[in-house]
Amino acid sequence: MVDERYKLPINSAEMDRLDVQHRLWSLLIGGLYPPTLNTRVNELLSAGGATKSILDVGCGSGIWAIEMARRFSHAEVVGFDLNPQRYKDAPTNFSFIHGDLMGGLPIELHEKFDVVHCRCVAQHVPDPHALMRILARCLKPDGLLLLADGDWVAFDSQKRLLDPVKWNPDITIDEQVENDLGHSWYAGWLHLFGAITRSPNYEPIDVLLKVDGLFKDVTYKKYYTPVNWSGEGLEHGEEVGRIMDRNMREFFEGGAAVVLAKGMPPATLEVWRKGLMKEMNQHHYNVWHWAYAVKSLYIQ
């Protein structure tokens, strides 16, 4: 089943892909959050006093939230997602809320959480600015927001932007191939899927965090990830390259139904698949974005 709001299949294969992607994020940032935040997170979530609470918005497979629940066993950890899942191995301090984020969070969650995590969600909601207000509203004063997202561009081995093949439904696939000689099928798939799934109102996460004065102390970092190679000078590069290879192959297979539903002929999809898979053996990079910020305002 493909959820029209999420745009990818909601099944065990997609949850497995998200778990693998979680490992990627852990390698990139150095854990569930960067080591530079250890002191801040430990202070926010220290045992004793008022109950400590963590929220994972768009929790998907639940892996980040569940690992946080195990690390901070005295804290309440809540996963919130559009699609209901079963979390059979979750600890008792983890709970799940099923709901549509853009309808807002229940009022009992307002100013409840010390730490809020939201990964690969912002560009898929109709109003990313409204999302920032929702996230700020559920944080306690001076609470910490952890925000992450992917991107729909690709780079060559020198980190130069690749020109994507752009699907034109008004020409034949042979004309498409001829017109796009020298362009990247790999970058083209990212461009195509981004056009389908990304909100027209989206802005980079570091920009979103600075809108309306909702947050302060915004810290942002960009990560380049090699695909099926170890990259240049990247810690854990070999494992990152393997994960990205698997992630992107599974992402293509999972997204094929979405593209077909948008009108791409199966024969065109097959040509695209062959071009993309051939490029998987070349040295490309993807890019990922990670940021954190502190709530600065009381939100009505």
Q: Is CATH 3.40.50.1970 the right assignment for the domain spanning 12-295?
A: no
DSSP for residue 204: -
Q: Cα 292 to the chain's mean position, in Å?
A: 14
Q: Is the pLDDT of residue 6 over 80?
A: no
Q: Collect all residues with Cβ–Cβ distance below 8 Å to 126 and sequence separation of at least 6.
A: 102, 199, 201
* 171 band by pLDDT with thresholds 50, 70 and 90: confident
Q: The whole model's pTM is what?
A: 0.92
Give the residue from 62, 65, 85 showing the smallest Cα distance to 77.
65
* 14 band by pLDDT with thresholds 50, 70 and 90: low
pLDDT digits (tens, 9 = 90+) for 15-55: 577 788 999 999 999 999 999 999 999 999 998 889 999 99
* Angle at the Cα of 257 from the Cα atoms of 256 and 262, rounded to 5 degrees: 100
If one counts every other C-beta atom within 10 angstroms of the C-beta of residue 69, the result is 24
> In percent, how much of the chain has pLDDT > 90?
73
CA atoms within 13 A on the CB side of 176: 21
pLDDT digits (tens, 9 = 90+) for 74-106: 999 999 998 888 888 899 999 999 998 888 888
* 13 band by pLDDT with thresholds 50, 70 and 90: low
Give the residue from 284, 101, 291 showing the smallest Cα distance to 215.
291
CA distance 87 to 96: 9
Tell me, what's the pLDDT at 3? 44
pLDDT digits (tens, 9 = 90+) for 231-268: 999 999 999 999 999 999 988 988 899 999 999 999 99
Please answer whether residues 294 and 209 qualify as being in contact, where contact means their C-beta atoms are separated by less than 8 angstroms: no
If one counts every other C-beta atom within 10 angstroms of the C-beta of residue 235, the result is 10
